Structure 1
Amino acid sequence: MALNLPLSPHLSARFSPDATGELTIDGAPEWFAEESTQRLREVVLSRVGEIAASAGHPVQLMVSDDEGEWLLAVHPDGTIGDEEELPPEVDADAAPAPAAASPAAPVALLPRKALERESFLYAEKPRTDRARRGVRGALARAGIPLEPSAAELREREELDAVSRHWAGPRTIAVVNGKGGANKTPTTALLSAVFARNGGSGVLAWDNNETRGTLGWRTEQDDHDATVHSLLPATDSLLSAEARTADIGRFVHHQNADKYDVLRSNPTMLATEQRISSADFDRLHTVASKFYRLVFIDSGNDESAERWLRMIDHTDQLVIATTALGEHAEAGALLLEALLQRDANSARLARDAVVIVSQSERTGSASNVRRVAAGFASLARRAVTIPFDPEMHGGRLAFDTLAPRTRRSWLHAAADVAEGL
């Protein structure tokens, strides 16, 4: 039950992510701008404490930010409480008199065997979780028992989804027959989300025989090994004597993003780096032995043996596309073709996740959403990624992305995890 605080003065505060805020006192606004959101909260709440001291009683403050709104009680001594957690005021004159004590009823003694004992393991109630993010999180750390917002709860659920470890390895193929459709950034950034949250054991594999650029856009170790360096070593790596660290001679570790990259060789002609179905099977067996999640950047040649064999080994299909019509159409045509190929390919197509990235700074966000909606009848889920210059050229690193972009990739990865 809420505390019955006087309604005068009427106070409300709005905090913005850019460390600016507004405090309204009986309809009159006061504006604040500080160097950080933490400092902004301190200054505004201190001002409300002064108002409570002048009034001589606690005041009610409605606080709002991008995560929602809630009521606080601010006391004259400057202490702050969540109003919904405060006890109601008690009218002493109206309180009922204590009842007269009645004689104790006789207690029936039961045999010891008949008594049911409650387990001590379940006697304690779980702690009420509190907010950790934004204004609500800051106030919760200050001792105000605020629950997480709906947005924070969704983020926690998605973090749990991408942190899971499945029984047995999983292969995720990132495909689109059209070049420039964002397959390489999609492969790298999905790998980063799963590795950063779920731990090691994530491989990004460039399965492109026509100048794949995954190696160019990720970190290189102190060697230049590629898929073709790994092929002759598959037998030794699959032997009982092989050690986990032996795979490190052939892959390139991403220090910040925690996944490994198996490169193709973009300097060689396609005719010089053909991989047969049997070769792909051997490579995939090695990858599945050393890694729990294998993300494959498919390349563009849907007729290549290695491309078709990749589909046979895939557990979850991801269509990468931009909002450009030719990229989206190529992705849609691929899904329709897989529906006709065989039962496994049809299952992959129906359960696919489509990731639509805004590829141009001046592109229309509504157009990106329109393209995603167009895949509703073809795939299980279609999600969008906003434009971010860090995705277009240069090394791909999750930490360099804008917060909004990182949040979108987490959402996309959680949808992928649902199919694993």
Structure 2
Amino acid sequence: MMETQALDFPKINAVLRTNGTGEVTINGTSHAIEAADEAAVLTDALRLITETAVQLGRPVRVSTTDPDGQGLIIVSPDGVVSEATPIKPASRREDTSSVRGAPAPESAKAIAGTAPSPVAPPTEETPAQPAGAGPVTFGAAVTDATAQEAVPAATPAAEEPGTRRSLKDTSFLISAPVLQPATRGWRGALSRLGFRMDPSSEELAERDDIRTVSQHWPGPRTVAVVNRKGGANKTPTVVMLSAILARYSGAATVAWDNNESQGTLGWRTEKGGHNNSVLDLIDSSQALLSPSAQAAEIARFVHHQTADKFDVLRSDENDEGDHEVTAEEVDIAHQVLTRYYRLIVMDSGNTARAANWRRMIHHTNQLVVPVTAIEDRAEAARLTLQTLESRGGHDEALARNAVVIVSESTDAKRSMSGDALKRAKDEAQRIAEGFAPHARAVVRIPYDPSLVNGPIRYDALQPATQRAWLAAAAAVARGF
């Protein structure tokens, strides 16, 4: 009843921001809100909206906007909040087909597991059922007499032994998980105040990505991050995928710099209390693979990332050395790492013809192709996929099942004008759309200064960047 009484007048919009500010606009009159935290902003916003409902003597409809999307709520003069349920309006033809027995059109539903997308503004709301009312029926009312005729009296199970169900087919356990209330934006703030709200489609999608990257899989998995062009974001991609998968799944994870000579993964990650690299691990492989070896012994060769919970196996950083990793050495190192880790994420050099590069591909379960939104990086990524696809067999399957990660260009980003920023985003979108028909998944990553220089830390990223990398890691994990 409350929702049916809420009219389109007055037009009320409420904005909730993450920085402790908000805004309520009533028929064009804006009321800015500043408070100590999100809960205080929400309290002030609800006070303004409730006062309007009291003046009108009926519930009011409010369009809400927050970083998680848009929504529609109903606020009564008593301060009671409920969520309006948008439905798709039926056309005249659809109404006719419903009368003839064809299925009525369903309301639009959010699909969990897809990447976040804008929420379309709601159109109409289904009338709320009055509190205490009986079940809704569609058709003629049923009198007591007809009800007695339509519903036969219950018969004891003993009189109809043929209909008795087996206890093996019966369970009192609830198989479907209980949907937890919203935790973010207007919905989350209202839930914390006691008005239970379902999560938005964006929050449901994020929960699905978290569930995906939190899974454990049987046997070790190897991810290869490849692009034959330097500056394509390979190393940041290795770090971010390793960090997210290690954080959420708790699986022992190692990032391995498989550059044929000297790579940069060690420069962008935390250094341990030693200088050992992949060459030292290979030299000690016999001891590490012996039956008496203990799991903690691997710490002498890898560099632990204390915040992001994964280890790094560095490439040889001896400037005076000229050793290039061979295919046989890749086999040895991979054998050792699969003994101690469930997940291996491999950085790579720029030479697809190198022996260690090709042997890495032999051990790979999931291919990831990073690319910055610059045409020569994108072209190099295309050629990398084309090379693998042309080899057939395992290499071709990896290319067809690849995940492409497109990052916005970092070139002179901080000095860009608004038009230049838009062009950079448009270029990233163009490149992403170009790869979409040729890869299993394509994920876009926004620009973030924390990825440009220095050690990379997941916690240093902006929330939007963290969300994008979570979606990328989930796309990779779905290939396991």
Please, what TM-score do these two structures have when normalized by structure 2?
Answer: 0.78
Q: Please, which moves more after superposition, 317-326 or 226-235?
A: 317-326
Structure 2 residue aligned with 1:198:
249
The answer (yes or no) to whether the contact 1:159–1:414 under 8 Å persists in 2 is yes
Equivalent position to 2:282, from 207, 231, 234: 231
Q: Tell me the distance in 1 between the aligned counterparts of 2:276 and 2:8.
A: 72
- What is the 5 A alignment of 1:176-191? 176-191=227-242
Q: Please, which moves more after superposition, 11-20 or 231-240?
A: 11-20
- What is the 5 A alignment of 1:21-420? 21-56=22-57, 58-66=59-67, 67-76=69-78, 78-82=79-83, 87-88=129-130, 108-111=155-158, 115-116=164-165, 119=170, 121-122=172-173, 127-269=178-320, 271=322, 273-358=323-408, 359-360=410-411, 361=413, 362=416, 364-420=424-480
Q: Tell me the distance in 2 between the aligned counterparts of 1:236 and 1:97.
A: 81
Q: Tell me the distance in 2 between the aligned counterparts of 1:367 and 1:294.
A: 32
TM-aligned CA deviation for residue 139 of structure 1: 0.9
The answer (yes or no) to whether the contact 2:50–2:75 under 8 Å persists in 1 is no
SS of 1:211 mapped into structure 2: coil
TM-aligned CA deviation for residue 82 of structure 1: 3.9
Q: 1:88 to 1:419 in 2, by over 3 A?
A: same
Q: Write out per-residue CA displacement over residues 352-371 of structure 1, whole angstroms, 9 at most, x where no aligned residue.
A: 11112122313511111112
Q: 1:4 to 1:356 in 2, by over 3 A?
A: closer
SS of 2:438 mapped into structure 1: coil
Letter in 2 for 1:65: D
Q: Tell me the distance in 2 between the aligned counterparts of 1:125 and 1:19.
A: 36
Percent sequence identity is 39
Q: Tell me the distance in 2 between the aligned counterparts of 1:159 and 1:141.
A: 22
Q: Write out per-residue CA displacement over residues 1-34 of structure 1, whole angstroms, 9 at most, x where no aligned residue.
A: 7543354962523214244433233453333233
Q: Tell me the distance in 2 between the aligned counterparts of 1:64 and 1:176.
A: 40
Q: Write out per-residue CA displacement over residues 133-184 of structure 1, whole angstroms, 9 at most, x where no aligned residue.
A: 2221111222222111111111111111111111111111111122221111
Task: Mark the runs of 5 or more structure 1 residues left unpaired by the alignment.
Answer: none
Q: 1:107 to 1:195 in 2, by over 3 A?
A: closer
Q: Write out per-residue CA displacement over residues 52-108 of structure 1, whole angstroms, 9 at most, x where no aligned residue.
A: 4445555444433342212223333x44344669642799xxxx9995998998764
The answer (yes or no) to whether the contact 2:253–2:310 under 8 Å persists in 1 is yes
The answer (yes or no) to whether the contact 2:6–2:74 under 8 Å persists in 1 is no
Q: 1:88 to 1:182 in 2, by over 3 A?
A: same
TM-aligned CA deviation for residue 231 of structure 1: 0.9
Letter in 1 for 2:72: W
Q: Tell me the distance in 2 between the aligned counterparts of 1:125 and 1:349.
A: 36
Q: Tell me the distance in 1 between the aligned counterparts of 2:405 and 2:185.
A: 28
SS of 1:295 mapped into structure 2: strand
Letter in 2 for 1:33: E
Q: Tell me the distance in 2 between the aligned counterparts of 1:269 and 1:325.
A: 35
Q: 1:213 to 1:144 in 2, by over 3 A?
A: same
Q: Tell me the distance in 2 between the aligned counterparts of 1:71 and 1:256.
A: 40
Q: 1:5 to 1:120 in 2, by over 3 A?
A: same
SS of 1:242 mapped into structure 2: coil
Q: Please, which moves more after superposition, 169-178 or 55-64?
A: 55-64
Q: Tell me the distance in 2 between the aligned counterparts of 1:183 and 1:376.
A: 19
Q: Tell me the distance in 2 between the aligned counterparts of 1:320 and 1:304.
A: 19
Q: Tell me the distance in 1 between the aligned counterparts of 2:215 and 2:208.
A: 11
Q: 1:83 to 1:305 in 2, by over 3 A?
A: closer
- What is the 5 A alignment of 1:11-30? 12-17=12-17, 18-30=19-31
The answer (yes or no) to whether the contact 1:210–1:269 under 8 Å persists in 2 is no
TM-aligned CA deviation for residue 341 of structure 1: 2.2
Letter in 1 for 2:341: Y
The answer (yes or no) to whether the contact 2:3–2:59 under 8 Å persists in 1 is no
The answer (yes or no) to whether the contact 1:182–1:320 under 8 Å persists in 2 is yes
Q: Tell me the distance in 2 between the aligned counterparts of 1:125 and 1:310.
A: 41
Q: 1:288 to 1:146 in 2, by over 3 A?
A: same
Q: Tell me the distance in 2 between the aligned counterparts of 1:331 and 1:102.
A: 72
Q: Tell me the distance in 2 between the aligned counterparts of 1:259 and 1:181.
A: 23
